[in-house]
Amino acid sequence: MKLIYSPTYPYARKVRVVILEKKLENQVQLVNLSPSALPDELVKANPLSRIPTLIRDNGAPLIDSPFICEYLDQLGNDAGRLSGKGDHVWDIKHLHAMGDGILDTIFSVSMERRRDESEQSPAYIKGQVTRVQRTVDALNKEVGTFSANPKLGELTMACALGYIELRLSNDMDWRAGNSALANWYAEISKRPSLAYTEPPK
């Protein structure tokens, strides 16, 4: 299998974390490409030229990080360990989607900031940062329900908090007033899968 990724891209980080958690390093070749350059290998597998893109052993592509994570979680002796069982599956998917929602919101700010300064909307950026802040404040109240054995939801949330630090450190101090979530993040960040994939600043 091949995973097309880039080191600062958060959805791809999440997949790399899952590869390490599942000990699949020897089964997945990592290919570092920039999607904006529209590289042939990526565009052929995914005409949207988005990262992450997985190319399975049979050559078939799989896109969208939640599906890639679930696919990888079905492999190995511990199939399904990160996806949960019964009703808990939906709690995990919910937390996963909340984490992805933070990533989507921050990514939209990054895209806005790539436009010429005269075309950027400070009100739009402020609105997006407020959404992230509101979500983090809500999660601070829910952190007691997070699984002690991190599943896809918790791993995604850790990547999302890391992406706030990478892209919004001048816009918000997410730890202020959110000490429970900050303590949880400090602990989960020690996991080798998260420490190893921390994005370059």
Ligand X SMILES: N[C@@H](CCC(=O)N[C@@H](CS)C(=O)NCC(=O)O)C(=O)O
| 52: contact with ligand X by CB under 6 A | yes
Residue labelled with tokens 């020897």: 26
Which region, judged by CB under 6 A, interacts with ligand X, from 9-17, 81-89, 120-128, 167-175? 9-17
Nearest Cα neighbor of 166 from 20, 1, 3, 7 is 7
32 near ligand X, judged by CB under 6 A:
no
Minimum CB distance to ligand X smaller for 50 or for 175: 50
Nearer to ligand X, 50 or 131 (CB): 50
One of 27, 29, 32, 36 touching ligand X (CB under 6 A): 36
**Can you read off the two tokens belonging to residue 133?**
């802040």
Residue 65 touches ligand X, criterion: CB under 6 A:
yes
DSSP helix/strand/coil, 2:
strand
- Residue showing the smallest CB distance to ligand X in the complex: 65
Q: What is the layout of strands, in order, in the sheet containing 53-55?
A: 29-32, 2-5, 53-55, 61-63
Closer residue to ligand X, CB minimum distance, 132 or 140: 132
Q: How far apart are CA 127 and CA 112, in angstroms?
A: 12
61-63/29-32 β-pairing:
unpaired
What residues numbered 86-105 form the site for ligand X, per CB under 6 A?
Answer: 100
β partners of residue 130 = none
Which of these ranges, 5-13, 70-78, 133-141, 146-154, lies near ligand X under the rule CB under 6 A?
Answer: 5-13
48-56, 115-123, 168-176, 178-186 -> range binding ligand X (CB under 6 A):
48-56
Closer CB to ligand X, 9 or 174, in the complex: 9
For ligand X, the binding residue among 107, 125, 175, 188 (CB under 6 A) is: 107
In the complex, minimum distance from the CB of residue 111 to ligand X, in angstroms, rounded to a whole number: 8
Q: Under the criterion CB under 6 A, does residue 153 sit at the interface with ligand X?
A: no
Residue 102 and residue 164: Cα distance in Å, rounded? 8
Nearer to ligand X, 140 or 152 (CB): 152
63 close to 50: Cβ distance less than 8 angstroms: yes
3-class SS letters over 18-87: HHHHCCCCCCCEEEECCHHHCCHHHHHHCCCCCCCEEECCCCCEEECHHHHHHHHHCCCCCCCCCCCCCC
Q: Which residues of the shown chain bind ligand X in the complex (CB under 6 A)?
A: 9-11, 35-36, 49-52, 64-65, 100, 107
